[in-house]
Structure 1
Amino acid sequence: MTEHTYRALTTWTGSTDGPYAAYDRTHTVWTPPAEAVLRLSADPAFRGDGRLMNPEQLLVAAASSCQLLSFLAVANRSGIEVLRYVDDARGTIDLAATPARVGSIVLAPTVHVAPGTDHAEVVATARRAHETCYIANSLNTRISLRVTVVDAVPSGAMSS
């Protein structure tokens, strides 16, 4: 199968009658066949509920998740033993830009590898994975990759 289709059902109930600032931005997203339903809102800067995720966060999360999955696949095929991966990804919107959009995403994974692993090869592998990431290839947003590689601490080792 060369083509895949992804479905998302988004629902909102309320009323936009009244002032712009007054209507509720809370909505739900369901992506069948997945069972989870997400409650989302707008960013608090856009009158949303800060306790809920917003679409901009989901965009950054999608880019981060796709990079992780692409990297793990390429690392596995390259014989690199990855033991942990933590990405502190950030996306930025410039409201002064026309049109305003998420103009950049920085993926900053810290990759924990088996001791003795060539760190330069891990970074090169992350870059190769980035080239195959479906989400990154689907966006016209500038996505940069800042990889940090560290040797994993053997399990059972005590820190001082």
Structure 2
Amino acid sequence: MVMTTHTYRTALSWSGSTGDYDSYDRTHEMKIGAAPLAVSADAAFRGDPELANPEQLLVAAASSCQLLSFLAVAALSGVEVVRYRDNAEGVLPEAERPLRLARILLRPRIVVRGATADRVERLLHKAHRQCYIANSLTSEITLEPSIEVR
């Protein structure tokens, strides 16, 4: 059996001057795929509050991976998912060292047909165990699902 190694590439660019710590621009551009994305530091760390920051990107990656893993598990199990929304949240407590996203809360709101809520929740947790991003992080990742069966 051939084992495949997957490589995921991004490109990042920034220009300016770090001559003054308090005032240098934290805005940078990240290219993920073909579309550029302007990114900055969190506003709490002197970044631009209007732009995405790396912490949000990590939370978004965890949320996206959970969604993709769940859809695959549900489809393979014959469960029809008709809607999935998530308002994810990452927590970086400054009192804890080293500074890191200590917790990520995923709040999937799922609408399905042809399955019980208990079965969907079991599939959701199975998907969580299979999520590449969750398996790559040391952050605590918690699921708070809401499931609607139609």
- TM category (shorter chain) comes to over 0.9
Q: In structure 2, what residue type is equivalent to 1:140?
A: T
Q: In structure 1, what residue type is equivalent to 2:12?
A: T
Offset of residue 42 of structure 1: 0.8
Would you identify which runs of 4 or more consecutive aligned residues in structure 1 move more than 4 Å? none
Offset of residue 30 of structure 1: 1.2
Q: In structure 2, what residue type is equivalent to 1:38?
A: L
Report 1:1-160 matches (<5 A). Answer: 2-18=4-20, 20-31=21-32, 34-114=33-113, 116-152=114-150
Q: Quote the RMSD (CA, aligned, Å).
A: 1.0
Q: In structure 1, what residue type is equivalent to 2:29?
A: T
The DSSP-based 3-state class of the residue aligned with 1:52 is coil
Distance 1:83 1:91 in 2: 26
The DSSP-based 3-state class of the residue aligned with 1:22 is coil
More displaced stretch, 1-10 vs 46-55: 1-10
The DSSP-based 3-state class of the residue aligned with 2:56 is helix
Q: In structure 2, what residue type is equivalent to 1:35?
A: A
Rg larger for: 1
Distance 2:138 2:17 in 1: 34
Return the TM-score normalized by structure 2: 0.95
Count of equivalent residues: 148
Structure 2 stretches lacking a partner, 5+ long: none
Structure 1 stretches lacking a partner, 5+ long: 153-160
Distance 1:76 1:84 in 2: 13
Offset of residue 36 of structure 1: 0.5
Distance 1:74 1:151 in 2: 17
Return the TM-score normalized by structure 1: 0.90
